[in-house]
Amino acid sequence: MKGQVKVFDTTLRDGEQAPGCSMNLHEKIEVARRLEKLNVDIIEAGFAASSPGDFQSVSEVAAHVKNCTVASLARCNEKDIDAAYRAVKNAVSPRIHVFIATSPVHMEYKLKMTPEQVIERTANMVRYAKSLCGDIEFSAEDATRSDPEFLARVVRTAIKSGANVINIPDTVGYSTPSEMRSIIERLRADVPECEGIEISVHCHNDLGMATANTLAGILGGARQVECTINGLGERAGNAPMEEVVMAIKTRPDIYPADTRIDTTQIYRASKAVFGIIGRAVPINKPIVGTNAFAHEAGIHQHGVLANRSTYEIMTPESVGIPTNQIVLGKHSGRHAFEKKLVSMGFNLSEEEINRCFADFKKLCDKKKETTDRDIEAIVWDMSPEKAPSVYKLRSFSVHTSDSEAATAVVSLEKDGKVKEDVALGNGPVDAAYKAVDKIVNPPEYVFENYVIQSVSEGKDSLGEVMTTLRYGDRTFSAKGVSTDIIEASIISYIHTLNKLIDHSGSGEGR
């Protein structure tokens, strides 16, 4: 009989702590909602003790999530463990995830502790966490560079003190698949107490082996995998959930286990996370990249037309990629539109459907045929990740030519009041952004990134713009979508400024 591999998602903790990946509370709740839809087993919602903002977001995720365990990370000290417990205690199924480093280099230079002190701290803190919460995961940070005998002692101590999940992180992405497998096999052999508890692996991607190492961990006997959507995470990231899950699903002959993941939600979750952090999906990214299922070479196309399995080891439908057929047009009614949304897996409120339908009708006036990707872009454009709404675009006009500076007039609305301004720029986007700045007078930021891409094929396609601004040590990103790329650029910029203003508490009344 096939076993079960639990999926522990740490997008909101290990993913979110990576530079350029920070999320606000609305965004974290949106990601948690997606993870729940995916059917992950455990959501690591954050590191509650690291800041009041993290504490709040872990607590809110714990309160929202109903179908999976919610965990908070904690170092091996009472203060961290108390904060973690307070943040997750109201979850339907709470978990505290405690960790301490076990490699010689980490113990000596980071912790400044002897191995005996690490053993003692592990015993005391796992016992303390267990006195608060029934579900305790223990991680031996930098396990793959630890002495195997010492690792076995620490793991035995953690189990004796109450840990029911033991996680073996490849913290610096140093291990290889055969090594990862043998670390898990040896641990199970050296520590018979591992029988009856769950062994987990947590792999970083510094050498591009996070997925392979995670899968090798399963072959060694691990039954929990820690990963993130799109592989977000420190440095080169963590094991991407979409890769690990689809490898398990596609090669049942190799992996003796299954996950509970609804793979048809993978593409939407990936898109939502990329949208939130303001990055475009890399075209060649496995599973979710634009080219992941594209067959350009004539010989491949010929094969796929004759039989899909010639060049396709999995179908785009199995990961929820819209097939991009022409779906609805100008004469389609609200009922047909609503049915289409449901068939695409969106579960929207009446009010949200009405808003999307109004945008869909506007799009039909500009574009003859709309595709699944267009409809998807409309839905993403009104998704909660955009909140909060401080300024709204009322109208704009631009004048641009090859012989003089571009001019833009932009009119914005805030609290029912309309303000208009005009600016010159070295192009229409620059001019429009300068006009917006004159109205908003935002706090000083660094303009970090601007990405434009078309949503579907054809000259009349919707354009999607993603703007990223850095303010202090945080980045803010948001999307704008329109058939007019200047409009998409302005909308994206305003949404991003709204997030920045909301975070900084500035911009009011200016």
Q: Which residue ranges make up the site for ligand KIV (CB under 6 A)?
A: 14, 73, 99, 139, 141, 167, 169, 171, 202, 204
Are 57 and 11 in contact, with CB atoms under 8 Å apart? no
Q: How far is the CB of 116 from ligand KIV (least distance, A)?
A: 22
CB of 171 to Zn ion, least distance (A): 6
The CA distance from 426 to 183, in Å, is: 58
Q: Which of 312, 206, 230 is nearest to 10 (CA)?
A: 230
CB of 78 to ligand KIV, least distance (A): 18
| Residue 14 beta carbon to ligand KIV: minimum distance, rounded to whole angstroms | 5
Closest CB 91 distance from ligand KIV, rounded Å: 19
94 interface partner picked from ligand KIV, Zn ion, none, CB below 5 to 8 A per type: none
Distance, CA of 139 to CA of 8 (rounded, Å): 13
Query: What sign results for the dihedral spanned by CA atoms 244, 249, 253, 255?
Result: positive
Cα–Cα distance between 197 and 184 in angstroms, integer? Answer: 13
Give 237 or 278: the residue with its C-beta nearer to ligand KIV.
237
Of the ranges 11-19, 106-114, 185-193, 294-302, which one interacts with Zn ion (CB under 5 A)? 11-19
Question: Which entry of Zn ion, ligand KIV, none binds 487, CB below 5 to 8 A by partner kind?
Answer: none
**Does residue 490 contact residue 410 with C-beta atoms inside 8 Å?**
yes
Question: Which is closer to Zn ion, CB of 234 or CB of 385?
Answer: 234
User: What amino acid is encoded at 71 in this protein?
Assistant: A
Structure tokens of 504?
């900084």
For ligand KIV, the closer CB: 169 or 463? 169
* Residue 456 binds which entry of Zn ion, ligand KIV, none, CB below 5-8 Å type-dependent: none
Alpha helices in 260-314 (DSSP H): 266-277, 298-306
**C-beta of 360: minimal distance to Zn ion in Å?**
41
Whichever of 69 and 171 has its CB closer to ligand KIV, that residue is 171
Question: Smaller CB distance to ligand KIV: residue 202 or 285?
Answer: 202
Instruction: Please state, as a whole number, how many other Cβ atoms lie within 10 Å of the Cβ of residue 329.
Output: 12
Residue 139 binds which of Zn ion, ligand KIV, none (CB < 5-8 A, kind-dependent)? ligand KIV
User: End-to-end distance of the chain based on CA atoms, in angstroms?
Assistant: 66
Cβ proximity to ligand KIV, 5 vs 73, nearer residue: 73
| Segment interacting with Zn ion (CB under 5 A) among 12-20, 115-123, 152-160, 273-281 | 12-20
Q: Which does 200 bind (CB under 5 to 8 A by kind): Zn ion, ligand KIV, none?
A: none
The option from Zn ion, ligand KIV, none interacting with 507 (CB < 5 to 8 A, set by class) reads none
Write out the two tokens for 458: 């054809």
80 binds, among ligand KIV, Zn ion, none (CB under 5 to 8 A by kind): none
How far is the C-alpha of 421 from the C-alpha of 439, rounded, in Å? 6
Q: Which does 141 bind (CB under 5 to 8 A by kind): Zn ion, ligand KIV, none?
A: ligand KIV
User: For 64-197, where are the E strands, in sequence order?
Assistant: 69-75, 94-101, 136-141, 165-170
Place of tokens 């995720």: 61
- Residue nearest Zn ion (C-beta atom): 14
Q: Does 14 bind Zn ion (CB under 5 A)?
A: yes
Distance of CA 204 to the CA centre of its chain: 16
> Does 135 participate in binding Zn ion (rule CB under 5 A)?
no
Any idea of the CA torsion for 219, 221, 224, 227, to the nearest 10 degrees?
A: -30
Least distance to Zn ion, CB of residue 266, Å: 21
CB of 167 to ligand KIV, least distance (A): 6
Alpha helices in 1-51, H assignment, sequence order: 25-38
- Between residues 75 and 386, which has the closer beta carbon with respect to ligand KIV? 75
Q: Which residue number, 167 or 407, has a Cβ lying nearer to ligand KIV?
A: 167
In the complex with Zn ion, which residue's Cβ is closer, 11 or 489?
Answer: 11
From the list ligand KIV, Zn ion, none, which binds 137 (C-beta under 5 to 8 Å, kind-based)?
Answer: none
Asked if residue 442 lies in contact with residue 465, where contact means CB atoms within 8 angstroms, the answer is no
Residues 6+ apart with CB under 8 A from 355: 382
Q: Report the C-alpha gap between 151 and 158 in whole angstroms.
A: 11
| Phi, psi torsion values for 113, nearest 5 degrees | -130, 150
If DSSP codes are grouped into helix, strand and coil, which group holds residue 33? helix
Q: Which residue lies nearer to Zn ion by CB, 273 or 398?
A: 273
Q: How far is the CB of 327 from ligand KIV (least distance, A)?
A: 42
Burial code of 133-150, b = ≥16 C-beta within 10 A, e = fewer? bebbbbbbbbbbbbeeeb
Name the residue nearer to ligand KIV (CB basis): 237 or 463: 237
* C-alpha to C-alpha distance for 275 and 23, rounded to whole angstroms: 11
**Least Å from the CB of residue 276 to ligand KIV:** 21
For the CB of residue 10, give the shortest distance to Zn ion in the complex, in Å.
Answer: 7
Residues at the contact surface with Zn ion, assessed by CB under 5 A: 14
